[in-house]
Amino acid sequence: MAQGVRTMSEIVLFKNIQKNGPELFPAGAAAIPACGYDDYVKNGGYQGARKALKMAPLEVQQVVKDSGLRGRGGAGFPTGMKWSFVPMDFKGQKYLICNCDEMEPGTFKDRALVYGDPHQLIESMIIAAYAMQMTQGFIFIRCEYRKGARILEQAAAEALNHGWLGKNIQSSGFDFHLDVHLSAGRYICGEETALLNSLEGKRANPRSKPPFPQVYGFLGSPTIVNNVETLCNLPHILARGAQWHKSLGLNGNAGTKIMGASGRVKNPGLWELPLGTPMREVLNEHAGGPSRGKSFKTVIPGGLSTPMMTPDQFDTPLDFDSVAKAGSRLGTACLIAFDEDDCMVAATANIMKFYMRESCGFCTPCREGIPWIYETVKAIAEGKGEEGDLAVLDDMARHIFHTFCAFAPGAQGPLLSAITTFRHEFEFLIQKSQCHTAGGAS
Amino acid sequence: MISDALKVQLTGHCGHYPSRRVGLIFVMQKLQEHYGGWLPEEAIREAAEISGVPETEVEGVATFYNWFFREPAGRHIIVVCDSISCYLCGCDRIAANLERKLGIKLGETTPDGMFTLLPVVCLGNCDKAPSIMVDDELYGPVTADMIDEIIEKTASETHGTRRAHDERNRPV
Ligand SMILES: Cc1cc2nc3c(=O)[nH]c(=O)nc-3n(C[C@H](O)[C@H](O)[C@H](O)COP(=O)(O)O)c2cc1C
Ligand code: FES
C-alpha cells in the first residue's frame, strides 16, 4: 500500500485509525487498540455532536440532506431523505438502530470502524438521534464481532461518564440511551426488517414493506436503521459542513467511501477513497494488482450479492450511479477479485451454497429454488452436468426473486452474471466433464 | 436449574424493555452460558418463563440462530469461514486439516467434548483469508502449519473446571 496513494483523498472516517501505524491493519483489525475517549476528543471528536445539539433538529436533518450522503449499507439511499419520512410529531418512543451485522461475504469495512474508533460511531448516533428526536438507540452487532461489542460497551460507558449519553446530554435537555445488542447469528439479520424482528426476540424473518420502518418499525414505532459507515460520516459533516462533504467525492459524488479488495489481489485491504474512484485504481494501485501473476477475470464489486464485472468495465468509477449503469451495484464497495485460473462454475457453486445455507426459509422461491440451483451448479462443477442444466439455471435465475426481501435478488445477481458472462465455462464443463482451467479452484 | 440471583437479573433485564420479549435473545445467551454452552429443555422452559414468550416460540428462536445450540457443544467452538474470499484462498484445505487434526467432520464434536468444528459465513476478515475463529479469537491468514499450534494453544488453556471455561467464553 503506497503511502502516496492515500493522500489522494482526505482521510475522514479512518483518521483515528490510521495513526496507529504505516499499515492500516497490521495484524488484523482486531489487533489495533481502539481509539479511546481522550484521544478521540483531542483529535476533534464530539465537535460535530456539540454543534448539532445547538441547532434545531430539522436543521441537522437539512445539513445531512444538503451533504448528499447516501446509505453505505448497500442500497445507496439518500440518508437525509430516509430520515425525512420519520413523523416528527409522533408522540411515543422513536428508535435509532445501527446495523452492524456485516455478513455480506467479501465485506469487512464496518469491523474496522467499530474496532478502531468506537467513539466515532457513538457520536454519530447521538447526532442522528438528536436530528430525529429519538431517545433510544441500539447497535445491532453480529455475534462474531463480540469483541467489538465489548469495545463499544466500554466506549459507551466512557461516553456516559462524560455526559454524552444518558439524560440531558451536555445540558442540552436531550436524552439518549444506547444499548449494544449482540446478535445470535444468521446473515438475514442484516436485512433491516429481519433485524427488527430479531431485535424484538423473534426469528429473523423479513417483514413485507410497506409499511416502512421509518413509520412502523421496532415494536411498531418509527425507526431508522442505518449502516455503521453511513452513520460515521455524520460527525464530520456536522463539524465541517455539507459543502465540504460534497467536495470530497469525484465527479459530483459526495464524500469518501471505504473501499476494500480481497481474493486474488496482491495486497488485500481497506482504503478510504473519494466516492467515484475508478475500480482499476483500487485493484492495481491500492491492492497491488493480481496476486498470482495472472490477469483478472472478473470482479464482484460490492459484496457477494452484486453482479460480476469484467475487465472491460474496470474503468467504471466506484459510485452508486456509475456501477449501476455498468449493470451491477456498488453495494459495500468491497471488491472480490478472481483471476483467469479460477473456475467460475466452482466459484458459483460456493456462492450458491452461501445463499442456500443462509436463506431464512420464509419464501418458497428462495427456500426451494436456491438449493435446486446449488445442486445443479455443483453437479456441473463436478463434471456431472447434463444437457439442459443451463436451461434450468436460466429459468430458475429469472424467477427466484419473487420474494419478500432482497435476499433472493442478491443471490440472483452473481448467478445471472455468471451464467451469462461465463456461459462458455458452464458449457465446456457439461460437454467435457472437466474445467477449462484444468486446475479448478485454488 | 438457574440460581435465584440469575433469574432476578434476567427478569430485570426483560422488564427494562417496553415488551419483555425484546430481552429474549440476551436471556437465551446467558442461559446457554450457564448450561455450559448449550440449551437443554430446562433452559427453554426457563427462557419462556422469564421472557413471557411461549415455549414453542422460544424453541423456534433457538433453532433459527446458529449461535444457539440445542445439543451439547464442545468447550471450544472452532468456526471456519467458507465464504468466497476464504474459498479463493484455500479454506477447503484448512477445513480438511482441522478435520484430520481433530478426527471429526465439520458439524461434529470431539468425543472428549473439547472441540466443536463448524462452518461459518464470512467473518468480515476477508483481507486476511482464509480466516477461522476459535472461541473469541480470530485468526487469519491461517496456514496449515498454524493449525497444530492454534489447537494446542487452545487445548492447553483449558485447565480446571468448566466454570473457568465458561467465564472465558462469556458472549458479552
Ligand atoms: C439480505 C440482506 C442483508 C443485509 N445486510 C446488511 C448488513 O449486514 N449491514 C447493513 O448495514 N445493511 C445490510 N443490508 C441492508 C439493510 O437492509 C438496510 O438497507 C441498511 O442497513 C440501511 O442502511 P443505510 O441506509 O445506512 O445504507 C442488508 C440487506 C439485505 C437484503
Ligand atoms: S470470506 Fe472469509 S472472512 Fe470474509
- The separation between CA B42 and the C-alpha centre of its own chain, rounded to angstroms, equals 19
CA–centroid distance, A179 to ligand 2, in Å, is 27
Asked if the Cβ–Cβ distance from A107 to B82 is below 8 Å, we say no
Q: Per DSSP, which regions of A288-377 are E strands?
A: 296-300, 334-339
* Beta strands at B76-81 and A296-300: parallel, antiparallel or unpaired: unpaired
Q: What is the DSSP letter of A68?
A: T
Amino acid identity, position B105: K
Q: DSSP readout, A185-212?
A: --GGGGSHHHHHHHHTTS--PPPPSSSP
Confidence band for A438, pLDDT divided at 50, 70 and 90? low
**Segment holding A325, helix H or strand E:** helix A320-325
Give the pTM.
0.95
User: pLDDT-derived band of residue A434, with 50, 70 and 90 as boundaries?
Assistant: confident
State the CB neighbour count (10 A cutoff) for residue A340: 14
Q: Work out the number of other CB atoms within 10 angstroms of the CB of residue A303.
A: 29
Which CATH code is given to the segment(s) A12-247?
3.40.50.11540
- Which residue do the cell numbers 474496532 mark? A115
Residues of B in contact with A110 (CB under 8 A): 124
Overall CATH class of domain A275-339? alpha beta
Same domain, B93 and B52: no
CA distance A60 to A93: 20
b/e map A409-422, b = 16+ CB within 10 Å = ebbbbbbbbbbebb
Q: Is A32 on the interface with B (CB under 8 A)?
A: no
> pLDDT tens digits, residue range A178-226?
999 999 999 999 999 999 999 999 999 999 999 999 999 999 999 999 9
Evaluate whether the domain defined by A344-432 bears CATH number 1.20.1440.230: yes
Written as nine digits, the cell of B86 is 476464504
Q: Which residues of B touch A270 (CB under 8 A)?
A: 127
Task: Select from B64, B89, B110 the last residue of a domain.
Answer: B64
| Cβ–Cβ under 8 Å, residues B70 and B39 | yes
- A381 or A438, greater pLDDT: A381
Where exactly are the structural domains of chain A?
12-247, 275-339, 344-432
SS3 A332: coil
**What is residue A439's predicted lDDT score, i.e. its pLDDT?**
52
Same domain, B9 and B56: yes
**ipTM (interface pTM):** 0.94
Count of the separate structural domains present in chain B: 2
Pairing of strands A256-263, A269-274: antiparallel
DSSP A409: H
A111, A202, A342, best to mutate vs chain B, most B CBs in 10 Å: A202
- Spatial distance between the Cα atoms of B91 and B87, rounded to a whole number of angstroms: 5
Q: What pLDDT is recorded for position A46?
A: 98
